[in-house]
Amino acid sequence: MTQAPSGKLRVVPLGGLGEIGLNCLVLDWNGYALAIDCGVMFPEPHMLGIDLVIPDLSYLEQFGDRFLGFVLTHGHEDHQGALPFALRTFSVPVYATPMAQGLVAERLKEHGLSAEFRVFRAGESWDLGPFSIEAIHVTHSLVDTVALAIRTPVGVVIHSGDFKFDQTPIDGKPSDLHRLAQYGELGVLLLLSDSTNAERPGHTPSERSLREPLAEIFAHTPGKVFFSTFASHIHRITQAIELSLAHGRRIAVVGRSLLNSIKIATQLRYLDCPASLLLDAKDLPSNESDRVTILTTGSQGEAMSALIRIAEGGHPQFTMGPGDAVILSSRVIPGNEKQISNLINHALRRGAEVYHSQNTPVHVSGHGSQEELKLFLRLCKPKFFVPIHGELRHLIAHRRIALELGIPPENTFLLENGKVLEIDAYGARETGRTTAGRVFVDGKGVGDVVEVVLRDRRHLSSDGLVLAVVVLDQQTGSVIAGPDLVSRGFLPEAGADLVMEQARQLVLDSLAELPLESRTDSQEVKEQVRRVLRRYFARTLDRRPVILPFVLEM
C-alpha cells in the first residue's frame, strides 16, 4: 500500500483573479515555491498619474532561496510585464519560451537589467525542486504560448495559460489536445483555467477567418493602409505582411515595440519579413506612394503613439487623407473607449476610412469561448477546479460551466487574490488569506503612491485646490500678512475676487477669536484656517476643494 505524501500544496493567486491583467500565481509545496507569470495591469481611469500596476509580491519574500523562479506561459505584458520590478528584489531564474524570452530581455534592457533565463519549448519537461513541469502547446494571439502540466507530490496541476483552440492557426500548429487528453486519462488533480471569455457562447473564430475581410480592405483601398495591432501579435502582423505582398505594397514599420517584436520573431523564424519589402520610415517623404502599408502601434489611441499623431496631422513623416484606410485590428482594452473614439474621429476628419471590430470583422480574440472552456475541462477531467484570469463575473461564469459538466460544487473554488487553497491527501480547502494587492508605478517611484494619494489626486481633479498663506508674529500670534488665498481648478479668475475677499475676512475674524496659546501654535492655526475655509466654500458654493494652509512665523 502506497503511503500518502506528507505535506500540503498551497495555491496562492497574487494577481489576475477579479481583474484583467496582473497575472501571477504561486504554487508552494512544503516551503518550496514557484511563480507562474508576473504581469502588469494598465491603470484604470481613476488611477490618476499612474503608469503601471504590478502585483504585490511580498508573499514570496518568506521563501528566500527556496523561491525557485518565475515560469512564464507566454510573453504578453499582462503575464511578464512586472518582471523588471520583481527581479530587482528576487534573484531567481526566469523560465520562458523563446519568444517570451526575447520580449522580456528587451524590456529588461530598457530598465538596465538582465536575468538568468532558462529557455524551453513546447513538449519539453524539466524538474524544479519538488515540481516536474511539462510545457504543452496551446494557440493564442502570440506565438510560443503554452499550458503547464506541473507534477507535484499530491498530483498533477494544469495551468492553462491564455488559450483558444484554433483549428486553422496561421503557423499550422494547433493546440496539443492529445497531450491534454493523456493527462486527463492519467488523472489531473487541479485545473487552473483562463476565464476571459467565459461569458461568450460558442467558439472563438480562427485567426485565419480574418484573411478575407482584411484582403477586401487591402484590395479596395486606393491610398495608404495604416494597420495597427498589438506589437506582439505576430500572426496578425504576418497576415498584414502577406496581404501587402499580394497587393504590391511595401511596408513601413513605426513604433519601437513593434520593431522589436518583428526583429525577435524574424530571428526566431516565426515571421518571414523580407528586407526588400520594408521602407525606412525616414525615407517616406520622398518615396511615399499609394502602394504603402504602414504597420504602427497606437490601436488604443494612446496620447503619444504614432497613429494618433498621424491622425491629428502632427507626425513629421506620415500624412493621412482621403483614399487611405485605418485598420484597428485589436480589442478595446477597458478604459480606453474614449481615446479610441477620439482616434477614429480624427482619422475620419482627415477623410480616411476606419475599420474596427465594431463595424468590420478585423479582430478575433485570443481567448477561448464557452465551448473551448468546456473542451479543456472535458479533456483534463480534473478533480478540483479553479477559474483564473478574469473579473469576478468571468470567474463565476466559468465556475458555472464546470458545474454543468459535473464537477461537484465542493470541488470548485472561487478564489480571490491572496486567498490560499490547500490540497493534501485528504482533499482541498480554502485556508485563509495572505498578503496580496496592487502596487502602483508612478515614474521612477514603485509603491510610494498608495490609495490615499490616489484619493487626494481624485479630490484635486474634481474639486480643485485653495492655498492659504498666513504670516504670524511668533510671540503674539497676531497676523502680520495675509491670509493670501490662491486657487487652482476651483474658481475662474473672473468673479472670484468677492468670494475670496469674504473668505479672507472670515479667516482673519476666526484667528482673532483664538486664545493666545492657540495663535502661537502653527498646527492649531492651520487647522482653524482649514475648518473655516472648508465650511465657507461648502455653505456658499457647495464645493469642497482641497485646502492647503501654510503658516509662516516671524
If you write DSSP's letter for every residue of 307-367 in order, what string do you get? HHHHHTT--SS----TT-EEEE-S---TT-HHHHHHHHHHHHHTT-EEE-TTTS-----SS
Radius of gyration of the chain (CA): 29
User: What cell does 451 get?
Assistant: 490609495
Checking 494-499 for CB contacts under 8 A at 24+ apart, the result is: 499/540, 499/541
Give me the residue label for grid cell 520583481: 86
DSSP state of 47: S
**Alpha-carbon gap, residue 504 to 498, rounded angstroms:** 10
* Torsion sign across C-alpha atoms 229, 235, 237, 243: negative
Residues pairing with 99 in the sheet: none
Q: How far is CA 221 from the centre of its chain?
A: 34
Q: Which of the residues 140, 367, 389, 394 is marked catalytic?
A: 367
- Between the alpha carbon of residue 297 and those of residues 227, 232, 302, 309, the distances in Å are 8, 10, 9, 11
The DSSP bridge pattern shows strands 292-296 and 225-228 to be parallel
15: three-class secondary structure by DSSP: strand
- Helix axes of 177-186 and 370-380: crossing angle, nearest 10 degrees: 40
**194 noted as active-site residue:** yes
Q: Which of the residues 194, 356, 363, 389 is marked catalytic?
A: 194
**Alpha-carbon gap, residue 505 to 483, rounded angstroms:** 9
DSSP state of 19: B
**363 noted as active-site residue:** no
**Alpha-carbon gap, residue 23 to 38, rounded angstroms:** 6
If you write DSSP's letter for every residue of 457-510 in order, what string do you get? HHHHHHH-EEEEEEEE-TTT--EEEEEEEEEESSS-STTHHHHHHHHHHHHHHH
- Between the alpha carbon of residue 331 and those of residues 163, 308, 367, 371, 382, the distances in Å are 16, 17, 11, 21, 31
**Alpha-carbon gap, residue 521 to 107, rounded angstroms:** 52
Q: Which active-site residues does the annotation give?
A: 194, 367
